[in-house]
Amino acid sequence: MPEGDTIHKLAAALRPVLEGVALSRVATRVRRGDPLLEHGAMTAEAVQARGKHLLLDLEAADGRRWQLRSHLGMYGTWHQYAPGAAWHKPAAGAWAVLGLPDRVLVCFHPRELQWRPRADGARDVPRLDARVGPDLLDPAIDLDAVVARVRDRADSARPIVDVLLDQSLAAGIGNIYKSEVLFLQGCHPLRPLAQVPEAMLCGLYRDAERLLRRNVKPGPRITRERAEAGAFLNVYGRRGEPCHQCGAPVEYARLGEHLRGTYWCPVCQPGNP
């Protein structure tokens, strides 16, 4: 699962390339194995990120407005090529192709790709399906409202490791930040939501928002306050290595509803609340 800052960085990189540009070709694939469906020439409008979703608004020559939504998942990626250059991946894996005057943009193997008409001409980020909650990188994010949303909508018996990854509650937290914010708040991954104190729950989402915003800039992802060379994270990816805070070996297991890889310190994040 990509982190929300990854998609926001992608949107920032594509914005100056796409916005306001006339595209000679827009093609998308509806299902695996189907041929690419050609939509004709269009003008690219806004490029935006909403949680893990990249949104591209377009306008056709007849004035109709469309949106291309992609969710990269674990294996999706956008490539750019010079016109006529060979692609690095097989064409069968391309789910979207955009022809610009000086390059070709190709989306390979997204988890989801949707081509849909826009109901109106609004340029702001439209509301996605109910499964996508407030984006933690939204400049207007209200973290108190996010915490209230979590308390109201999530099963109180659900482990916090699943709550944090639930994009319908708040969008942007992926597998790395999940482990990192739990460490920063001293919270065991399997602690039920009902046993997470209000101050700790607020701290989890506050830390997630802070770290996501910190890492939108170029460079390696850093979650430690005083990162050393090659040691940018607290626990993620450090199975068996000493905790930076107490020295205990970092533990690892596949936890939660989807058995996602999770890292934690058994001393700093005790199992019994």
Which residues are known catalytic residues? 2-3, 52, 260
Angle at CA of residue 162, ends 156 and 164, nearest 5°: 95
Cβ-count burial 10-48 (b if 16+ within 10 Å, e if not):
bbeebeeebeeeebeebbbbeeeeeebeebeebbbbbbb
CA distance 78 to 14: 10
Q: How many whole angstroms separate alpha carbon 110 and alpha carbon 133? A: 20
Q: What is the phi-psi region of residue 166: left when phi exceeds 0, alpha when psi lies from -120 to 50, beta otherwise? A: beta
CA-CA-CA-CA torsion sign (165, 242, 206, 71): negative
At 240, the amino acid letter reads: G
- Retrieve residue 121's tokens: 């001409």
Amino acid letter for position 80: Q
* Alpha helices, DSSP H, located in the chain: 4-18, 143-153, 160-165, 175-184, 198-214
Say how many C-beta atoms besides its own lie within 10 A of residue 138's C-beta.
15
Beta-bridge mates of residue 197? none
